[in-house]
Amino acid sequence: MKKEQLLFAFQKTKSPVAYCVLSVGMGTRDEASKYNGLAHLTEHMLFKGTNNRSSVNISSTLEKVGGDLNAFTTKERIVLYSTTLKEDVKKAIELIFEVAFDSVFPADELQKEKTVIYDEIITYQDSPTELLFDTFENELFASTPLGYSILGEKKTLERITPQILKKNLGKFFRPENMTFSVAGNFDEEALKELIERELQRWRPNSFLKLCTEGERGSLGSMAPITSRPFAKQKNSSITDGVLFNKQIDKNLRQAHCIIGCRAYSYYGAEKKVALSLLTNMLGGPASNSRLNLSLREKHALVYHVDASCVSYKDTGLFCIYFGCDKKYLDKCTALIKRELERFIEQPLSERALNAAKKQMIGQLSIAGDNAEARCLTIGKSMLLTGSPTSMEKMRKNIENVSAQMLQTVAKEVLRWKRMNRLVFY
């Protein structure tokens, strides 16, 4: 029997706090349309009982020692993560593997949790900004699994049974479709032995592969996508999809707008990094972003405007969000168009480019100083590429972006004729 490999990465810290992250290659995009919401429901139900633990026991095991076990679902991942004191890390590792490999999905708990998620969906639908993003992705990805709501719908959740949950647990929650990352003040070899011992309690034919940057582990050859709306792009090509410009009356006092398009996949290499830099300059968290200076500071049209980009396995998303008085919607749109065209028409000066790089590197370095955040990032990187990515590598990638590359990416991604618009008003 072939041995199953679990990729593992470790970050040494001097803190008394330990962080553990288990990343699983199962997300919304792996769902059949009739079971939309399955990944998110699975995440919830992992906390509802195993053969040896009740839901109360699961929730209290780490809390009794001041720690925490939590989880979240994305379009491509389910992530379990814990925070404990270093002396309690064994409890955390035991608990994470047990809920990942031995959840039983009791029917009574399933029905209760569906009711909780129904309320979550209603709350979500009462938030115009969150619903706006969901609707935009559904339009942009033409109702493929990438466009599905992470929460699902009541009618699709009602179809999900304990048997369906168990089947998917067996399919996706396999060592070769997972990664495990830890940050803490530990001896690396002793920690590796501890994790491997706990892993083999549930998967006797498994082993742990310690992965460092540049050392690629072999990821499982699963084909988890229920339907493949895009060919997996190892290159930097992008497709437009069906363009749209929609305005939907939600009886709101303000207009909420997203302008955006498809972008590079996670494997877009240097172009993906260049787009991240462009996005940060346009509408990153700093108050000196171009869109904030134009729409808010100069023209006083908005309270908030931002730009973001997301990369998936085979495509990506670039978008700009703002909210404004309805009468200013067209003016805001025109100002955004002008800012995009500036990047297309004129390359950045060396001084402006260096300032943008320094700002982004500073933001990433400060964010990366949080060990939990680094653990989560490393887990995602290993799951997608088979190798963790260090802060030093990220910094080098940003420093290598040229003004010419930025302009090339702007011409490919930011052209106005590629932009879609969705407005709730």
Measured between alpha carbons, how far is residue 176 from residues 107, 114, 360 in Å? 29, 29, 34
Residue count of the chain: 425
**Nearest to 20, CA basis, from 85, 102, 101, 104:** 85
Q: What is the pLDDT of residue 61?
A: 97
**Nearest to 125, CA basis, from 135, 116, 115:** 135
**First CA to last CA distance, the chain:** 59
Determine contact, residues 305/320, Cβ cutoff 8 Å: yes
Name the segment(s) of the chain with CATH classification 3.30.830.10.
4-210, 245-424
Q: What is the pLDDT of residue 212?
A: 82
Determine contact, residues 185/15, Cβ cutoff 8 Å: yes
Residue 76: DSSP 8-state = S
Determine contact, residues 382/394, Cβ cutoff 8 Å: no
Q: What is the CATH architecture of 245-424?
A: 2-Layer Sandwich (3.30)
- Name the superfamily (CATH) of residues 4-210: Metalloenzyme, LuxS/M16 peptidase-like (3.30.830.10)
Number of neighbours of residue 209 by Cβ within 10 angstroms: 18
The answer to whether the pTM exceeds 0.85 is: yes
Determine contact, residues 43/73, Cβ cutoff 8 Å: yes
Using one digit for the tens of pLDDT, what is the confidence trace for 213-232?
A: 766 665 543 333 333 344 34
Q: Give the pLDDT mean for 111-136.
A: 93
Could you give the CA distance from residue 229 to residue 67 in angstroms, rounded to a whole number? 41
Q: What is the pLDDT of residue 269?
A: 79
Using one digit for the tens of pLDDT, what is the confidence trace for 46-95?
A: 999 999 999 999 999 999 999 999 999 999 999 999 999 999 999 999 99
Determine contact, residues 367/336, Cβ cutoff 8 Å: no
Residue 55: DSSP 8-state = H
Using one digit for the tens of pLDDT, what is the confidence trace for 3-41?
A: 899 999 999 999 999 999 999 999 999 999 999 999 999
Q: Give the pLDDT mean for 143-164.
A: 95
To which residue do tokens 């041995």 refer? 3
Number of neighbours of residue 104 by Cβ within 10 angstroms: 17
